[in-house]
């Protein structure tokens, strides 16, 4: 299904022409009927001689309502540029044609209206004037069809011309990611909230779960209508009305996008291919703040050039747009930039989730060029080189390629040894080698600074890799398999690393172990030992990790032999009696309550015993 949008100067007969073609009055507001002027978007539909049904979006022509015009023109396949024969090309004719050019809408049919109000000679002059304008606007081949909505003259020819212009247009892409930029939201008694817009990116099904972005607001598409007929499935390109329960119209603003849940992440910055309007009266300066329009959304945006300080009228450049509010954009979206009184430029979103760049940063322009012009394989290879590690879903959003197609590309890159995948994240081989080298260096540094510790916590090392938990585990497993690291008990270390005590520290350790062995069930606490026998916390942990002592509390340690004897005797007593108290164990070993509590709490932590009230039982 295709969408046709009107364009042209105020009072040149756009709405009257739509009504004559379709029998539908696109002016839905009473104020529009009272003033005889379109203020907001209007909608109609037309069945072509071939039987195809097309949607028509009627936009306002007055310059004060240009933002409403922009909300409707973004999703169209063909522009119906309306020029009144009695007035010819006017200021809004020029601006609307400029907008069509910036939005890369190349299929244009000109309706030369109000022919019943002029003489044949004047009509021929008007036609020549329009043809010269089209040549200046870069649309020399746009057909011009003289019509009169009042008499009906030329209407069949106009319909045939529209049909011929749409005939070889390829169908809308179905990327299995439906999205509807919302241009209207209203309530119907007995049904609830209705939103409308042009469906892009994929099919929408009645009953499916959807969300509104930014928000997000979760709901479902209770029912769908296309051209006031209920449908179960709407195809890309349809003008669709969607009944969404549980969401109030007060919570919906024009510019929100209705889509499948979970994939569309709104952004505050986008890298773009920007063109300044040829009609701009001055260069566009770096740092300028303008109004950004894309789909039905608008926001203030600051324009930052990646190179240079200005762009002359008619010129193109790479730029980053930073938005004052979250914008629901995807790669390939087209946009317009305006000042309060004029269209300044427009272009295409290349990277909807842009990172901040340094001015004149090397390689950024080339990467954007690949994103804009490269093959899918080249685009993916460039992205994982710059962005990796990146989750497949996020990569799919960034490059505008479906998950299935992306998975096939990634498999091909892996087969050529150009990509590495861990879990749901992918990166270039070069990036993986940098991550592995950095992790090895971090571990080497850790071992130098902490010679008595058996390894670094797994989670301490993860943030620097950029890997999520699942991918990180897979990456560590690969490094273990390659015998670069060891991973055990929540710690990672360089392969072959073992804690080694210096001669001085070994002597202190032996004196300490000798002291606690002398009183096996009531050893002196660490704080009670003289300085030359007392281990610091790091040495105590190291001796425990080496199995030379058992730390049951921060300051109480047993020799392994004493601890095992005590553990065995506690378990035997529990087998015999079923339960024990602190006093029972104190009396059994002839020790104090402090030591028994530390012992039993350690046995609880290691799941030998468990506490039930004041008793201990076997775990």
Residue 299, pLDDT score: 94
Indicate if the pLDDT at residue 425 is higher than 60. yes
- Region 119-142 average pLDDT: 93
CATH code, 3-167: 3.40.50.300
- Please say whether the beta carbons of 278 and 344 come within 8 A: no
**What percentage of residues in the chain have a pLDDT greater than 70?**
95
Reported as a single tens digit per residue, the pLDDT across 167-208 is: 888 877 788 889 999 988 889 888 889 998 889 889 999 999
| Average pLDDT of the chain, as a whole number | 88
Residue 129, pLDDT score: 94
Q: Considering only CA atoms, which of 109, 120, 115, 100 is closest in space to residue 144?
A: 109
**Cα separations (Å) of 487 from 40, 401, 458, 490, 619?**
64, 37, 8, 7, 29
Residue 68, pLDDT score: 61
Indicate if the pLDDT at residue 35 is higher than 60. no
Give the highest mean pLDDT range of 55-64, 397-406, 564-573.
564-573
- Whether 503-618 and 267-364 are alike in CATH topology: the answer is no
Residue 542, pLDDT score: 87
Q: What pairs with residue 188 in β-bridges?
A: 192
Phi, psi of 346 (to 5 degrees): -175, -175
- Region 238-263 average pLDDT: 91
What would be the CATH architecture of the domain defined by 503-618? Orthogonal Bundle (1.10)
Confidence class for position 463, pLDDT limits 50, 70, 90:
confident
DSSP H helices in 24-141: 30-35, 66-73, 91-102, 120-136
CA distance 461 to 441: 11
Residue 320, pLDDT score: 96
- Region 216-224 average pLDDT: 92
Which of these CATH numbers, 2.60.120.10, 1.10.287.10, 2.40.30.10, 1.20.1090.10, describes 179-259? 2.40.30.10
- Region 588-597 average pLDDT: 92
Residue 41, pLDDT score: 67
Residue 27, pLDDT score: 55
CA distance 596 to 584: 10
Domain assignments of the chain as residue spans, ordered by start: 3-167, 179-259, 267-364, 374-500, 503-618
Pairing of strands 267-276, 297-305: unpaired
Residue 277, pLDDT score: 93
Which of these CATH numbers, 2.40.30.10, 1.10.10.10, 1.10.760.10, 3.40.50.20, describes 267-364? 2.40.30.10
Residue 179, pLDDT score: 92
Indicate if the pLDDT at residue 235 is higher than 80. yes
Indicate if the pLDDT at residue 36 is higher than 70. no
**pTM assigned to the model:** 0.73
- Region 321-325 average pLDDT: 96
156-181 as b/e, with b when 16 or more CB fall inside 10 Å?
Answer: eebbebbbebbeeeeebeebebbbbb
Contacts of 4 (CB under 8 A, 6+ apart): 46, 54, 55, 56, 57, 76, 77, 78, 79, 80, 162, 166
Residue 74, pLDDT score: 63
Confidence class for position 65, pLDDT limits 50, 70, 90:
very low
Contacts of 368 (CB under 8 A, 6+ apart): 271, 273, 306, 318, 350, 351
Q: How many angstroms separate the most distant Cα atoms in the chain? A: 123
Which of these CATH numbers, 1.10.10.10, 3.30.420.40, 3.40.50.2300, 3.90.1150.10, describes 374-500? 1.10.10.10
Indicate if the pLDDT at residue 360 is higher than 80. no
Indicate if the pLDDT at residue 13 is higher than 90. no
Residue 34, pLDDT score: 40
Reported as a single tens digit per residue, the pLDDT across 69-100 is: 566 566 788 999 999 999 999 988 998 888 88
């Amino acid at each position: 299904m295709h969408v046709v949008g009107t364009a042209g100067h105020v009072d040149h007969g756009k709405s009257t022409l739509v009504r004559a073609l379709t029998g539908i009055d696109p002016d839905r507001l009473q104020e529009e009927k009272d003033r005889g002027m379109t203020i907001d978007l209007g909608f109609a539909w037309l069945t072509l001689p071939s039987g195809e049904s097309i949607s028509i979006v009627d936009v306002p022509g007055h310059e004060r309502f240009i933002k409403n015009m922009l909300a409707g023109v973004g999703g169209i396949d063909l522009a119906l540029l309306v020029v009144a024969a009695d007035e010819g090309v006017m200021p809004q004719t020029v601006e609307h044609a400029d907008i069509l050019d910036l939005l890369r809408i190349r299929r244009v049919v000109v309706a030369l209206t109000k022919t019943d109000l002029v003489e044949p000679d004047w009509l021929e002059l008007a036609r020549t004037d329009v043809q010269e304008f089209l040549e200046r606007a870069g649309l020399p081949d746009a057909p011009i069809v003289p019509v009169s909505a009042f008499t009906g003259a030329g209407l069949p020819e106009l319909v045939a011309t529209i049909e011929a212009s749409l005939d070889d247009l390829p169908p809308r892409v179905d990327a299995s990611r439906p999205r509807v930029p919302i241009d209207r939201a209203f309530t119907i008694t007995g049904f609830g909230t209705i939103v409308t817009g042009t469906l892009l990116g994929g099919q929408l099904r009645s009953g499916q779960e959807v969300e509104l972005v930014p928000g997000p607001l979760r709901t479902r598409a209770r029912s769908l209508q296309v051209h006031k007929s209920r449908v179960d499935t709407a195809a890309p390109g349809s003008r669709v009305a969607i009944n969404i329960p549980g969401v109030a119209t007060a919570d919906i603003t024009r510019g929100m996008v209705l889509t499948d849940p979970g994939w569309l992440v709104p952004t505050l910055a986008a890298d773009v291919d920007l063109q300044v309007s040829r009609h701009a009266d001055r260069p566009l300066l770096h740092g300028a703040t303008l109004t950004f329009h894309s789909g039905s959304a608008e926001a203030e945006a600051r324009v930052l050039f990646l190179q240079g300080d200005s762009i002359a009228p008619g010129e193109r450049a790479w730029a980053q747009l930073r938005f004052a509010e979250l914008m629901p954009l995807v790669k390939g979206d087209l946009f317009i930039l305006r000042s309060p009184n004029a269209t300044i430029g427009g272009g295409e979103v290349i990277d909807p989730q842009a990172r901040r760049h340094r001015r004149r940063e090397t390689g950024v322009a080339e990467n954007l060029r690949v994103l804009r012009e490269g093959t899918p394989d080249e685009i993916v290879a460039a992205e994982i080189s710059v962005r990796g590690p990146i989750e497949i879903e996020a990569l799919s959003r960034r490059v505008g390629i479906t998950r299935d197609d992306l998975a096939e590309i990634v498999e091909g890159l892996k087969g050529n040894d150009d990509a590495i995948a861990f879990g749901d994240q992918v990166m270039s081989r070069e990036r993986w080698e940098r991550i592995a080298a950095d992790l090895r260096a971090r571990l080497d540094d850790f071992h130098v600074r902490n010679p008595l510790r058996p390894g670094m916590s797994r989670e301490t090392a993860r943030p620097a890799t950029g890997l999520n938990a699942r991918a990180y585990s897979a990456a560590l497993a690969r490094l273990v398999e390659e015998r670069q690291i060891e991973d055990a008990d929540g710690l990672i270390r360089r392969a072959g690393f073992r804690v080694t005590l210096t001669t001085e520290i070994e002597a202190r350790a032996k004196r300490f172990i000798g002291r606690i062995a002398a009183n096996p069930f009531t050893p002196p606490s660490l704080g009670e030992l003289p300085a030359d026998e007392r281990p610091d916390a790091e040495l105590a942990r190291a001796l425990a990790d080496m199995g030379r002592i058992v730390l049951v509390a921060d300051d109480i340690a047993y020799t392994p032999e004493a601890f095992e004897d005590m553990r065995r005797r506690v378990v035997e007593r529990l087998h015999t009696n079923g339960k024990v108290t602190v006093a029972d164990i104190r009396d059994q070993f002839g020790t104090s309550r402090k030591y028994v509590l530390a012992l039993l709490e350690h046995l609880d932590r290691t799941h030998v015993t468990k506490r039930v009230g004041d008793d201990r039982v076997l775990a």
